[in-house]
Amino acid sequence: MPPPNNNHFCTCSIIGTGSYVPDRVLTNDDLSKIVDTNDEWITTRTGIKERRIAAEGQATSDMASEAARRALAAAGITAADIDLIIVATVTPDMFFPSTACIVQKKIEAWNAVCFDISAACSGFLYALQTARHYINTGNRKTALIIGAEKLSSLINWKDRNTCVLFGDGAGAVVVQRMDDDAKEAPGRILSAVMGCDGSLTDLLKVPGGASAIPVTPENVDQRLNTIHMEGRETFKHAVTRMCQASEQALSMAGLTAADIKMVIPHQANLRIISAIAERLGIPEERTFVNLQKYGNTSAATIPVALDEANRSGAIQRGDVVLLVAFGGGFTWASTVLVW
């Protein structure tokens, strides 16, 4: 039986999950008509079969708000109960105001303070841990944590190295402080770690479109406002850091890999997920994978997968669940919870 909490935190639980993906499906075969690629290459190198693409005019906040409404319904609370909204995204609606402020308006959560977090694919777990700190101080009680991305807005559709990898979507959780006597509350977070290595910023980035390289016609012609990635290097760091972060969070929780019922990893590449499972000694059937349907949706992968795992019954009350992410920065993070 895992300890209720050994991390000097109050008991803080996920009480509802929700997700949203756009209707439009873009298959590998569709992509093979746009760039020099094929289903066989994408499937064997990544595991991805299709991804969702937001409708014209559909912004990150639209997807985030729908995921949020579903999480609120699952938690059985109203938007008025929320006192903190954090949106993790690298594809905000605009530079400012934050996407979290726009979500507040759309779902009418008027009692919340709102801000965004930029930690790329680790963003959701960064946001979850940030909310946990706010809740732990007593400053906030009920937080809405959203990972939402419209990566189709950052894709260079002429670059086969990257355009096949990404998709759009949003996932959300409601996190709440539990009463002092609720040490065994379902959904409780046992431990969390976060890390960053800013010396490797150049390996995965969108170089242009902001203050360093502002938007000009020339910069747009050179596609500087789209995703650039050194895939192989990123792959290696992802495996190493996700394993380390997993082991640290497990150790902090007083657990080992043998205690894990389900790993819900960032969904970037099936080969990365398999490598992590193998190194940690976790059977593949205990890893949750949905990237074949959605590709890499950055900050949204973990909350979308968590919601699907929850609703499908792949995770059950009492299961120890490990969440682990890696992304641009480089950033990484891991969280252990008891469902």
Residues lying near ligand UT7 in the complex (CB under 6 A) are found at 37, 41-42, 45-46, 121, 160-161, 164, 231-232, 234-235, 238, 268-269, 272, 296, 326-327
Tell me the closest approach of the beta carbon of residue 297 to ligand UT7, in angstroms: 9
Contact yes or no for 236/166 (Cβ under 8 A):
no
Residues 6+ apart with CB under 8 A from 112: 82, 83, 84, 85, 104, 144
Contact yes or no for 143/134 (Cβ under 8 A):
yes
Cα–Cα distance, 321 to 170 (Å, whole number): 20
Nearer to ligand UT7, 143 or 306 (CB): 306
Nearer to ligand UT7, 13 or 269 (CB): 269
Cα–Cα distance, 82 to 63 (Å, whole number): 18
Other Cβ atoms less than 10 A from the Cβ of 195: the count is 16
Nearer to ligand UT7, 84 or 238 (CB): 238
Q: Catalytic one among 5, 28, 225, 296?
A: 296
Tell me the closest approach of the beta carbon of residue 67 to ligand UT7, in angstroms: 19
Q: Catalytic one among 266, 269, 290, 310?
A: 266
Tell me the closest approach of the beta carbon of residue 296 to ligand UT7, in angstroms: 5
User: Please, which residues bridge with residue 117 across strands?
Assistant: 88
Residues 6+ apart with CB under 8 A from 111: 80, 81, 82, 83
Q: Which stretches of the chain are assigned E, i.e. beta strand? A: 12-20, 24-27, 50-53, 84-88, 113-117, 142-150, 168-177, 188-196, 204-205, 228-229, 262-265, 320-327, 331-338
Tell me the closest approach of the beta carbon of residue 170 to ligand UT7, in angstroms: 16
Q: Which residue is nearest to ligand UT7 (CB)?
A: 231
Active site residue 266: yes
Max Cα distance, the chain (Å):
61
Nearer to ligand UT7, 209 or 231 (CB): 231
Q: Catalytic one among 101, 121, 163, 243?
A: 121
Active site residue 296: yes
Nearer to ligand UT7, 68 or 272 (CB): 272
Tell me the closest approach of the beta carbon of residue 7 to ligand UT7, in angstroms: 27
Any idea what the Cα angle at residue 276 is, between residues 270 and 280, rounded to 5°? 150
Residues with catalytic function: 121, 266, 296
